[in-house]
Every structure is written in C-alpha cells, then in structure tokens.
Amino acid sequence: MPSIISNEELTPRLFRNNIMEFFSRVSWYVPLLIYIPVIATSIYFSIVYHNFNVLNVAILFAFGIFFWTLVEYILHRFVFHYHPKSEFGKRIHFIFHGVHHSYPRDPLRLVMPPSVSIPLAFMFYFLFKWLIPNNLHLPFFSGFVLGYLVYDITHYAVHHFPIKNKLFLKIKSHHMRHHYSDENSRFGVSSPLWDIVFGTLPKSKSN
C-alpha cells in the first residue's frame, strides 16, 4: 500500500534556505524551454556540421528515445523507490521522490528540477560521447533528451491535464494505480513496456 497521501496542492517547505527552496519548485514548461534548444542544436550539428546521413540520424534518434524508456524505468524503480535506512538517507529520498508520493497534486513538484536534470544531462552526454564514437552520440543524445521531455510532460499531464484520449487515459490509469494502489509496481510513467518486460505489473486486475 502507498504511504499517507495528502490532497493538498502545495507541499510544505523542503529547505530552510529560500534559494534552495525556490529552485526545488518548477513549472511544467521549464524543461521544454531548456531542452528543446538542446535537441535542436544536437540535430543541427549532426546533419549540418558533421554531415551525417539523415536516415542514420533518425535511427540513432529513435534508439535514444527507446533507451530513455529503460533509463526512466530503472531510475524510478531502483533510485526513486530505494528505501534507505539512515535518517539522512530518508530525508534525501523524501526530497527527491517521497514528497511527490505524499503530495501528488502539487503542480510545482512534478517535473524534474533543472538543478537535478542538468547535471544528469551532462553525465549522460559525456557517457554517450565515450561509448559512441565519431560524434554519433549527438543524434542518440538528442533522442534520449526528447524521451526525457516526453516522460516529464506525460507525468505532469496525467496528474493535471484533462485527458480524453484513450491511449493517454490508459497511461494515466497505469500511473495513478502506482500512486494510489501499489507504489511498488508500475514504475513506467511514459510507457508500461518495461513493467511488462520485468514483471512489475500486478497479476490481479483489481490492484
């Protein structure tokens, strides 16, 4: 069963420091403003500067999106839902993800704050640069970032947008059951794919 859930739309303060508190809250459109230019720039350099074949760029871009869905699942299941034993660890866990489960209606604690997403973006960029030779990491990284944006906006949408599309209603139901039925299952937010692959969908339809 999930932990105690509040219906309040605003969470309590997480930090005494006003600057840290300010940067811990973020509107849903902020990731779009930051990362759409990153995607566009990576694609531009891939096609115009490095003169990569457009089909190859598209394939690597698609693989980047697909790889994000796996990273999304792993982060959500094994990092965001890791339960530390120390009081300090519990505090860090609450700041990163526990607060969202306790206050799922807060619109400013839904998408990942840039203070977290930007360092992660740099980490993955240099990881891909190391793993993928000849600057082919650029289209892969741009797809990966688009996958992240889809995840963040989907996460916000299922909590706050008036959804009527049948596919997105299924995605919303999948995530709402994660919150209100069993927080130890249904870790995919933008897709249930990896829940199916790794068996983290409850067998009972009532759960």
pLDDT in tens, 185-207: 999 999 999 999 999 988 765 55
Q: Grade residue 39 by pLDDT with cuts at 50, 70 and 90.
A: very high
Q: Grade residue 2 by pLDDT with cuts at 50, 70 and 90.
A: very low
Mean pLDDT for the stretch of residues 43-54: 95
Does 27 fall in a domain? yes
Does 98 fall in a domain? yes
How high is the pLDDT of residue 3? 54
CB 7 within 8 A of CB 105: yes
Does 203 fall in a domain? no
| Dist. CA 137–CA 46, nearest whole Å | 9
pLDDT in tens, 103-127: 887 888 888 889 889 999 999 999 9
| Dist. CA 53–CA 137, nearest whole Å | 14
pLDDT in tens, 124-160: 999 999 999 999 999 999 999 999 999 999 999 988 8
Residue of 5 and 31 predicted with greater confidence: 31
Does 50 fall in a domain? yes
Does 7 fall in a domain? no
How high is the pLDDT of residue 1? 37
- pLDDT at residue 64 greater than cutoff 70: yes
Does 191 fall in a domain? no
- pLDDT at residue 9 greater than cutoff 70: no
* Residue 22, helix vs strand vs coil: helix
Print the domain residue range for 147: 18-163
| Dist. CA 5–CA 11, nearest whole Å | 11
Does 169 fall in a domain? no
Q: Into how many domains does the chain fold?
A: 1
pLDDT in tens, 19-33: 888 888 899 999 999
How would you classify residue 13: left for phi > 0, otherwise alpha for psi between -120 and 50, otherwise beta? Answer: beta
Does 95 fall in a domain? yes
